[in-house]
Structure 1
């Protein structure tokens, strides 16, 4: 039976070795990870994709979180047991980055990136079963948290993502299942959107990582 080598990733005809094994411990190399992410990013998002130098410090934090580098997580005040809430201006690359970084761990079950707007629309069609659906044991990254419309089903309004976050919090407490999200809104705006109770749970659910407020719109 072939030994799993999570530090060696195969893409098409190419092999990317993003770390070395020493005494049965993988020592990841950030420069090699960046090379792989640049290649994978072009596969996912097109040839114009590139990793911006001003984003490398943030990408490094994301990488040490996902590879569970405990010493660097401690250095950056990142709790490896919580999820990630990645915030930043519109167009800075939050969604692309969260879709991309999961590929550095091919041996781990990946999370699904789901737009919050789509979840709200699904609630409008299917009702409260939607909240149950995303309160399950699967791994999700909720994209564009806080700007989704209010859910409406048979005349009943519902703060759909607020209810789902409460369910995800219960999952986190009982089963240590992590949840990720991206948001354009700051902490105060999220609290206005979801209320103090949900905001309090979000502090326990997420590590907050943020792009610089002046980050350029990379979609142009």
Structure 2
């Protein structure tokens, strides 16, 4: 039994025709917030800027081709998060790692 209300499987639906996952970004955010609160404490929150970064990372992780194109993200290129120490770069990836597919 999990400590969390939301599981990764709760963040998407399966398209029966294509057998592809269709992610719900609101459910994905709820998944991240629940885990963030568990790991980093009850004061965990995402600012508007952090939410925008989170959405881009999520789009990249789930390989959402339509949204990747809108945000000029390329699936065959890596990501580089830059910023001052202690600004949450590693925390972002710890929380979003569940969404990266295993090839």
Task: Name the SS for the 1:47 alignment partner.
Answer: coil
Would you say how many aligned residue pairs link Structure 1 and Structure 2? 99
CA 20–89 in structure 1, closer or farther in 2 if over 3 Å, else same: same
Is there any run of 5+ residues in structure 1 with no aligned partner, and where?
Answer: 1-9, 110-220
Task: Name the SS for the 2:80 alignment partner.
Answer: strand
Is there any run of 5+ residues in structure 2 with no aligned partner, and where?
Answer: none
Which runs of structure 1 show a deviation greater than 3 angstroms over 4 or more consecutive aligned residues? none
2:13 corresponds, among 6, 17, 20, to 20
Aligned pairs for 1:67-78 within 5 A: 67-78=62-73
Aligned pairs for 1:86-165 within 5 A: 86-105=81-100, 108=102
For the residues of structure 1 that align with 2:97 and 2:64, how far apart are their CA atoms?
Answer: 15
Q: Per residue, is there more helix in 1 or in 2? A: 2
Q: Per residue, is there more strand in 1 or in 2? A: 1
Deviations along 1:125-177, whole A, 9 cap, x unmatched?
Answer: xxxxxxxxxxxxxxxxxxxxxxxxxxxxxxxxxxxxxxxxxxxxxxxxxxxxx
Give TM-score, length-normalised by structure 2: 0.80
What RMSD, in angstroms, separates the aligned Cα atoms of the two structures?
2.2
Compute the displacement of 1:11 (Å).
Answer: 4.0
Give TM-score, length-normalised by structure 1: 0.41
For the residues of structure 2 that align with 1:63 and 1:13, how far apart are their CA atoms?
Answer: 20
Compute the displacement of 1:15 (Å).
Answer: 3.4
